[in-house]
Amino acid sequence: MRSTRETTMGFNRVDAAGLAPAESFAGGFGNPLRVPMMAMMLALGLFANACDKEAPKAPPAPVAAEPVKAPPPAPVATAPDAAVPAKPKMVANNDGLSLADRVAKRQAAEAKVAAELAAQEKQRLLKYDKGKLPLHKQVFAFIVKTRAQYDKVLKSGDKGLVDKLRISLQKPIVLMGKKMATIDPKGGNSNVTTDYDVMLNALANDYPEAIDASFDGDKQPLAAQTAELDRRTKKVEDWLAEVKSAKK
């Protein structure tokens, strides 16, 4: 007859020989404390095995591809006639003249043309002024007479007479200036109207003032005015003489 005994806790039964029953070794599941212990040991083994293995390395970053370069443009073919033309060769002049002779010849030709143009212009002015000859005579005669009046007062040496004459001549000079303007209203057609204008203005202001200055000892202004009036008077006299003799 087999005797059995139970553990104090009542969990395991063993026979008399001290052996556990067969069902206690069926996977160890008969003992409720053995299941969690085995699970813990299994987890620790798996963890240790995972630690022994190296973590997988991250794949290297992809290398940026180099930009594709466009091929260089093909050279443009140059047409033979588009090439830079060759400089013309210097050809010796066969006229037998040196460079200085050719320059002198060209200058002579230019001077001839200029003289011909000047002659044509002079004929044009003579023709125009001949048609205005009566007005020329009136204006120029007034200028000559007015200057003679001032020269007479100059000899007297009296500044009062100079001032008195200047005042009395103001209106006549203005009226003659208006008549003179009718000779060449548009300008550029008479050869002496500019001279008339300058002389009338001098007789109205500069000439009597220069006479007064000469009385005070300053002779230079009067000398300058006298030279200017003499030069223009000679020019008008010579021109009017040519106008009188010119053909219509």
* Domain ranges, ordered by start, for the chain: 13-47, 123-245
The reported pLDDT for the residue numbered 12 is: 43
- Out of 156-160, 193-197, 230-234, 241-245, pick the least confident: 156-160
pLDDT band with cut points at 50, 70 and 90 for residue 233: very high
How many CB atoms neighbour CB 212 within 10 A? Answer: 16
Burial call 140-169: b when 16+ CB within 10 Å, e when fewer? bebbeebbeebeebbeeeebeebeebbeeb
pLDDT band with cut points at 50, 70 and 90 for residue 234: very high
Question: Roughly what angle, to the nearest 10 degrees, separates helices 220-245 and 133-156?
Answer: 150
The reported pLDDT for the residue numbered 21 is: 44
**pLDDT higher than threshold 50 for residue 18:** no
Burial call 33-43: b when 16+ CB within 10 Å, e when fewer? eeeeeeeeeee
pLDDT band with cut points at 50, 70 and 90 for residue 88: low
Query: Is the separation of the CB atoms in 202 and 230 below 8 Å?
Result: no
Q: Rounded to whole angstroms, how far apart are CA atoms 212 and 157?
A: 9
The reported pLDDT for the residue numbered 236 is: 98
**pLDDT higher than threshold 70 for residue 137:** yes
